[in-house]
């Protein structure tokens, strides 16, 4: 193991009583009287915890824990004005392995800064991936995850492209569960937001020549969030980028590698300076077919047909994208994955974007070569966008029956 890639966050105090209760109830934490250890089934071993010492305040708001009369004291946050930003929570999850080996043991650690060698693969050659998913709290106190195994499979696909080992699907899902339960007091009350979960896979071993790193770290941290766009479900306004491109054929546009996202910042910043919400990118070959927005997939609606660009290596296979296609089919829409031209975009009845952070964002207007086209009627929110948003968020938050088998309930 590279000594330069040791993490500085080494304190392991007892979690708050509410979190400890949930960990024991999830069979991730046995119930010794003072010190206790946490072990993932067959995969990962968690370090022991000492005395708890956390200066974060709690509110008087209490939420009943599922299948228990234990109340959860939530973190001291203005839940009604929760934005999309980072908040330091209680715990993060760490798991390491060497190149050519498999991940096996992981642990919960206090959330904090990490220490890396200056020659870590992630810092020098960008050998890293990330994922994003959410946990929701139901009115009865139960906690829900939405399709976490899809994130695990996408991470494994990306890791193969980036020459990295990756956790198994079971390891990924169990690590997510443990991290969410350990930070349970940071999950917003029902209807107030969600707990955003950010898994990272990084080459943290020291390497000078261009090569795969000798050591890798899988890390998960979380943060409570509200809406990604400040407009919420209100319409966003996009501009079509005609000069810069997000991805090229044969590149890494189809995996969630870290370097994909810094490349969009220049165009995105210029667009926001002009009053637009974000940028819609075109393909780099023909420069006329839609690809995606900076961090979202895009859909166009014409009559009863919902179309979205096909996954061909330059577009990220979004999990929300995939879910919306299935939901739309179940509601009687015809769905198409194919090349979608700018001309079709400008002639559409509706346009919307999808992603984990935004879920669905209706597009109020598109500007292309100084021509602006508006959508969605007087309020800019189209009927189809609203219908699909309501259907998917109701499912994610446990308000409707999960007939798809997508929800993982933490009890």
Catalytic residues: 256
Cα separation values, 102 from 43, 44, 106, 137, 159, Å = 11, 12, 12, 33, 13
Both tokens assigned to 268? 């995105």
3-state percent breakdown (helix, strand, coil) of the chain, nearest 5: 25, 30, 45
Residues forming beta bridges with residue 406, ordered by sequence position: none
Contact 268, 294 (CB under 8 A): yes
Phi-psi label, residue 259: left if phi above 0, alpha if psi -120 to 50, beta otherwise: alpha
Cα 39 to its chain centre, rounded Å, is: 25
**Which residue matches tokens 């002009």?**
274
> CB-based contacts of 352: which residues, under 8 Å, 6+ apart?
298, 299, 301, 360, 361, 362, 363, 382, 384, 385, 388
3-state secondary structure of 307: strand
| d(C-alpha 254, C-alpha 335), whole Å | 21
Pull the structure tokens for residue 358: 């935004």
Structure tokens at 96: 């390491």
Handedness of CA 330, 233, 141, 195 (dihedral sign): positive
Residue 385 phi, psi dihedral angles, 5° rounding: -60, -45
391: how many CB neighbours lie within 10 A of its CB? 18
What whole-number distance in Å separates Cα of residue 234 and Cα of residue 80?
Answer: 17
What is the phi/psi pair of residue 356, to 5°?
Answer: -60, -45
Q: Are 206 and 249 in contact (CB under 8 A)?
A: no
């Amino acid at each position: 193991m590279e000594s330069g890639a040791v993490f500085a966050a080494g304190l392991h105090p007892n979690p708050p009583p509410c979190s400890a209760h949930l960990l024991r109830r999830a069979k991730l934490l046995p119930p010794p009287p003072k010190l206790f250890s946490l072990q993932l089934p067959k995969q990962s071993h968690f370090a022991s915890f000492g005395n708890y010492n956390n200066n974060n305040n709690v509110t008087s708001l209490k939420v009943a824990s599922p299948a228990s009369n234990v109340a959860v004291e939530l973190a001291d946050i203005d839940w009604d004005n929760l934005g999309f930003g980072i908040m330091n929570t209680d715990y993060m999850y760490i798991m390491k392995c060497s190149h050519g080996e498999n991940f096996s043991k992981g642990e919960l650690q206090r959330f904090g800064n990490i220490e890396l060698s200056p020659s870590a693969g992630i810092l020098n050659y960008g050998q890293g991936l990330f994922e994003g998913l959410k946990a929701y709290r139901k009115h009865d106190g139960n906690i829900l995850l939405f399709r976490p195994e899809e994130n695990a499979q996408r991470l494994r696909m990306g890791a193969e492209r980036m020459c990295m080992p990756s956790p198994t699907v079971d390891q990924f899902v169990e690590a997510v569960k443990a991290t969410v339960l350990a930070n349970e007091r940071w999950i917003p009350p029902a209807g107030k937001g969600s707990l955003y979960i950010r898994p990272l896979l990084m080459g943290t071993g020291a390497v000078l020549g261009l090569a795969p790193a000798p050591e890798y770290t899988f890390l998960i941290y979380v943060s409570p969030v509200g809406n990604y766009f400040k407009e919420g479900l209100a319409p966003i306004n996009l501009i079509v980028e005609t000069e810069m491109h997000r991805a090229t054929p044969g590149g890494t546009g189809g995996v969630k590698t870290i370097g994909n996202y810094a490349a969009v910042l220049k165009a995105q910043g210029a667009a926001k300076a002009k009053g637009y919400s974000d940028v819609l990118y075109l393909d780099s070959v023909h420069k006329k077919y839609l690809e995606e927005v900076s961090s979202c997939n895009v859909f166009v609606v014409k009559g009863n047909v919902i179309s979205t660009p096909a996954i061909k290596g330059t577009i990220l296979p979004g999990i929300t994208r995939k879910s919306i296609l299935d939901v739309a089919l179940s509601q009687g829409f015809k769905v198409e994955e194919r090349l979608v031209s700018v001309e079709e975009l400008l002639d559409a009845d509706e346009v919307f974007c999808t992603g984990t952070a935004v879920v669905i964002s209706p597009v109020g207007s598109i500007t292309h070569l100084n021509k602006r086209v508006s959508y969605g009627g007087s309020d800019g929110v189209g009927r189809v966008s609203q219908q699909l948003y309501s259907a998917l968020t109701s499912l994610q938050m446990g308000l409707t029956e999960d007939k798809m088998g997508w929800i993982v309930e933490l009890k």
